[in-house]
Chain A
């Protein structure tokens, strides 16, 4: 039996979580280094996965399959396609940055009990989330996926509710209340989504008698899968609801601004750049593959909801006074693009959407983490409390600008490629939708540039005047992300090479072909 590489990629951070949690209270620096070490180890394993993966090969590679709960028809089945590989790489890449950015975010306060070990808990929970996210990208058994999809809520919930911004130190009663409200809202939204999905998962089993994606695909190919149109639609809705909450899609998005606003910045990055990707990933892998006809049936509604997300998220981002909530609404807008790309049902749209997931992860991480550095210096999340930062902290302002420009998809930076692909893909199939979606780009320019203008330019505010520039640790977070953004912006081919074959499969699932360009048809 070959080495279970995919399992190892998830087990390593999980083991790291346990070890980190076990570090004694006084040795919190050890815990930090341990967590970083394990996240880098995971990155190395993810890199091996990336290398071993053959883009032109089988649909699912590096597969593992073991019997698990026979009575439920559940197998421990792992496998990755190009989409999975790309997202595992993104996750493994971002976690070390998240850990470094949150290096001092969870140090205990002087007033707290000596036995309380927030630092150890913080880093252990981050690694736990990483393990579960990676497993959910790897699972090719619906039930197995569901388990990790649900279980990751618990560490995430503790991360949001248990660790506030240093800006509002943990003792502040009002901030603690808001934070626990945000955490509970996050959990309830996602739990309700997950439980509705559970009903659909059970329904799927009753219909298909198995949870294995490959077996269901075989049954579908052989025509032995008896699923009436109505059942397929209901099951699709059950799955899609859960993913739409997670993604998040308007009108199920309201937990995200709360969660991202109240959580510490690294955790906010974890939510939007990593965890939410499971939702959009699962739409591609499960909704389209399991319920192709229902997906096509739901396309018009999903496209409209995605459009609303794009425009509504962007408009609300323009109106925000809080930096973190602004980025949260911007993310809602971007998730609209991703979902638009997926349901455009064209190969450009879907590969654009997949690229978008990766690029959005990188750009949001860059913008949000630098914003976090800014917020920790001033102790405020309000845009109005800043001004003229670029004069006192040019490096901070510069990295913030690049993160922002990536967010508004400036050509030359990675998100441009994906946004362009999505729009092209959508335009080919639904020109009107494509035109409306373009407004999202215009609005993005508005909220990013206004944010930059108000915080970084203008006269230096008194409270900002003594602000130190980025330190070595912070630069170590910001610079590699920017390098990646530029690199993938100029040369996205490595990524598209991995993703495109997988998209071919997805397109076959829904039995769609790209619309022929008009010009050609005219000939």
Chain B
């Protein structure tokens, strides 16, 4: 079976481009605004948010920003639904914006997931009931004045004046825009730009926690430095691949990989088709993406950043970034590099195995709930990789489904973390969670549902997702991965269960934390999380169908 016939299993050819000889005349680029609407709406909202920051009086900014963000996300989601129902996910899948962006099933499915996750995350961003009222002002999780040095007079003045970092909303919207473009990027440059567009706001968002500000800033610096490092790898890889293929477009690189390209660019005759460039370039790009995914051994930033960042941001990051990054990884492996399946599969096998086992084993020793969830997210990254490795159409749809299931559990779990507080803010040390089930049975029960979903207990979304990816992996001939996955699930179950033990079977401590009563915003976030977790656990068929239909990339 030739390489070309393999990847037509999960890709379909785009309609032929309009005739015209590039280079001879300059054609005005055609931009398909309707198909780009989701991204454009979110970028527009972000710009609008920046303007609002400049012109709206301080008192009203919070409401205006929240309104812009929610409306924009809802509108973008509506646009996604519109595109999907008019067939862009299946028959009319196409490449738009001069080859920069793909509009196809996986892109729309993942963009929809990212938008829903972002909507829920924005709710947790806007929560102002949890922190105690400070100088007569309700405050959210973000620093009064992010620029003021922690502990300085300027900070105190800002707190007293009731300032709030409402910039988080436009920042989040920029990040969402980048995240939307990331899994849809159809050439390497767009991929890189999308990566930077979502990464830079996230670095900033990590730094603006209201409590434990030094830790938050430290996390942001670590994230930024390591992130910049990985971006450099990615960029270097792009350069090498360009040298190999003479193009940054996915389709053209794939053609060169397949050996079906006829014309060789005279300027690149010396390097084109050089396998060393291809392999090294591919490895570097994979490194950049695996860093964002948080796969071992590129995971070092995850625990520190997850712990230090403001918890709503952590939830957003853990869910949406993972979705987008896996989307980009899928597209790269399935559209650009299917001809190299035999080369990347063994590498990813190794990465998946160490990611599953490493994440699960290290998580056992954690004593901070946010770090624990960080390692658990690493382990889950490994499970998703098992689905990616399947290299079958089922692999794509199982990964899509897993990402949908996982993102809501994650945001819900982090939202619960924001509720458990003591005098120092969120009480994230595990010892403080002892006996929570006796103090606040409902909150503890909800968190237990999320933990059971993480552990993959049947009748939760975690089980459906895990079953889908493992099934795909087994059918794709990766039975060993399934066994490793099952074993690391067992290890992972141990620490999820440990938290449940702590919450329900330990006596509450006298100085234990209290559970803050949140506003309707966080309640909605948690409620949506629980609902999705149970629905995807008990009746996943509709969403599996959706993911199945969305499982074809455009090329």
Contact = CB atoms under 8 A, between A and B. Distances in A.
Interface of A: 67-72, 112-113, 115-117, 146-148, 150-151, 153-154, 157-158, 161-162, 171, 173, 176, 179-180, 183-184, 187-188, 191-192, 195-196, 198-199, 202-203, 205-206
Interface string B481-500: 01100110110011001100
A118 to B, nearest CB: 9
B501 interface: yes
Given A158-B504, A188-B493, A72 B486 contact: no
How extensive is the interface on chain B, given as a class? Answer: 35 or more
Contacts of B475: 206
6 contacts: A69-B540, A70-B544, A113-B438, A113-B439, A158-B504, A176-B507
B305 to A, nearest CB: 30
B252 to A, nearest CB: 34
A157 B483 CA distance: 25
A195 B501 contact: no
Nearest to A150: B458
A147 B482 contact: no
B67 interface: no
B548 interface: yes
A228 to B, nearest CB: 13
Contacts of B487: 195
B493 A203 contact: no
A283 B441 CA distance: 38
A116 B441 contact: yes
Contacts of B490: 188, 191-192, 195
Nearest to B398: A71
A146 B459 CA distance: 11
A198 B463 CA distance: 10
B544 A176 contact: no
Contacts of A196: 486
Contacts of A180: 501, 505-506
A116 B545 contact: no
Nearest to A70: B541
B479 interface: yes
A180 B505 CA distance: 7
A157 to B, nearest CB: 8
Contacts of A69: 464, 539-541, 544
Contact of B471 (A67, A113, A205): A205
A153 B459 CA distance: 12
B452 interface: yes
B505 A171 contact: no
B474 interface: yes
B441 A202 contact: no
A206 B474 contact: yes
B497 A171 contact: no
Nearest to B476: A206
A-B pairs with lowest CB-CB distance, top 3: A147-B458, A71-B544, A180-B505
Contacts of A147: 458-459, 463
Nearest to B483: A199
Nearest to A191: B493
A199 B457 CA distance: 14
Contacts of B501: 161, 180, 183-184
Given A69-B540, A115-B441, A147-B459, A198 B470 contact: yes
Contacts of A151: 457-459
A72 B504 contact: no
Interface string B504-516: 1111000000000
Given A184-B497, A195-B490, A202 B471 contact: yes
Contacts of B483: 199
Given A147-B459, A202-B482, A72 B471 contact: yes
A202 B439 contact: no
A72 B482 CA distance: 16
B458 A202 contact: no
A211 to B, nearest CB: 11
B468 interface: yes
B467 interface: yes
A226 to B, nearest CB: 15
Nearest to B545: A71
A202 B493 contact: no
A414 B274 CA distance: 80
Contact of A162 (B452, B479, B505): B505
A171 B471 contact: no
A496 B396 CA distance: 52
A72 B487 CA distance: 21
B474 A71 contact: no
A353 B40 CA distance: 68
A451 to B, nearest CB: 30
Nearest to A173: B507
B497 A187 contact: yes
Contact of A146 (B458, B498, B545): B458
Contact of A171 (B464, B486, B507, B545): B507
B544 to A, nearest CB: 4
B482 A161 contact: no
A22 to B, nearest CB: 12
A117 B541 contact: no
B457 to A, nearest CB: 6
Contacts of B497: 157, 184, 187-188
A245 to B, nearest CB: 12
A202 B505 contact: no
Contacts of A191: 490, 493
B322 to A, nearest CB: 22
B500 to A, nearest CB: 8
Nearest to A193: B490
Contacts of A192: 490
A187 B540 CA distance: 26
B551 to A, nearest CB: 11
A113 B512 CA distance: 14
A183 B494 CA distance: 12
A480 B362 CA distance: 53
Given A199-B482, A202-B470, A202-B482, A179 B458 contact: no
Contact of A72 (B457, B467, B498, B505): B467
A403 to B, nearest CB: 30
